Amino acid sequence: MAVWAIGDVQGCHDELARLIDKLRFDPAVDRLWFCGDLVNRGGQSLAVLRTVKALGDSATVVLGNHDLSLLAIAERKREEQARVNPELREVLFAPDRDDLLGWLRKRNLVHVDRNLGFLLVHAGLFPRWTTQQAEEMAREIEDKLRSDSYRRLLKQMFGNKPDLWTPKLRGTDRWRAGINVFTRMRYVDVRGRIAFSDKGAPGTQRPGLYPWYEVPGQVKRDLRVVCGHWSTLGRFAGLGIYAIDTGCVWGGALTALRLDSEEPEVVSIKSDRKPAPGKEQD
């Protein structure tokens, strides 16, 4: 049995198929963990969703910001859905869209395996959260996404305020702040306030900002963290963090990290894609 974590696919189905083949993946015994952003920009989001959903229990997926964006768009009026990019329209108007989106909405924000010693999340964890606190916050938001009132949350979850999570937050502000941590965070200040506009590689950020995993006073966690989201960071291993978004959709690579081996093993598939001009890596 092998357990592999895979970085941001973002609609790159050809590369995903090649990577799965290279891993010699056997769904009867092996497991794949996807660190979010299955969709958008690679041109093949519908195929990616169908492939990953068909893996059933052999695949574990956490939600990324692009996945949540697709779910929010799906709640808009039909004429508004028809104006989004062709790749997402293909999903939104597919005959199996309800099955695919219903399945996607029920994915977790955080996945924990204490036997393996890993936590999977799309972007990161609030610097003062223990793994238990992160799990509790994730379950709270997931319960809302799976409840009868999920449409209200999807309509209200976007926004850069509040940019600092605190236990005093309540309602939509609390859930929005949590979603921003789990799916959008890169740099934060010493208090943990998210700097949404800083997206470059470490060293390019404004003074007073830190990669979320390097903030002074970071809590010590009992699990290693696997994440994606930050393509300009690239593959990173250190401080208990394994970042594996290697920018497939931007012409980089799609990367898998083996989690059940004594030392994590890396396998990558090079992408030949050329990103559309003017697109920002988020």
pLDDT at 276: 54
Neighbours of 22 (CB within 10 A): 13
Least Cα distance to 110 among 32, 179, 7 occurs for 179
The CATH number of the domain covering residues in 3-270: 3.60.21.10
This prediction has a pTM of: 0.97
Domain extent listing, the chain: 3-270
DSSP string, 206-256: PTT-EEGGG-TTPPP-SSEEEE---TTT-SEEETTEEE---BGGGTSEEEE
pLDDT values of the chain reduced to their tens digit, one per residue, 282 residues? 999 999 999 999 999 999 999 999 999 999 999 999 999 999 999 999 999 999 999 999 999 999 999 999 999 999 999 999 999 999 999 999 999 999 999 999 999 999 999 999 999 999 999 999 999 999 999 999 999 999 999 999 999 999 999 999 999 999 999 999 999 999 999 999 999 999 999 999 999 999 999 999 999 999 999 999 999 999 999 999 999 999 999 999 999 999 999 888 999 999 988 865 555 667
Q: Scanning the structure block, which residue is given the tokens 């309800």?
A: 98
CA atoms of 76 and 94, how far apart (whole Å): 16
What is the Cα–Cα distance from 5 to 87, expressed in whole angstroms?
Answer: 25
Cα dihedral 58, 91, 249, 139, rounded to 10, equals -50
Question: What percent of the residues of the chain are helix, what percent strand, and what percent coil, each to the nearest 5?
Answer: 35, 20, 50
Alpha carbon 192 to its chain's center: 19
pLDDT at 116: 96
Q: What is the dihedral of CA 131, 132, 135, 139, to 10 degrees?
A: -170
Please tell me the predicted confidence (pLDDT) of residue 272.
Answer: 87
CA distance 262 to 227: 19
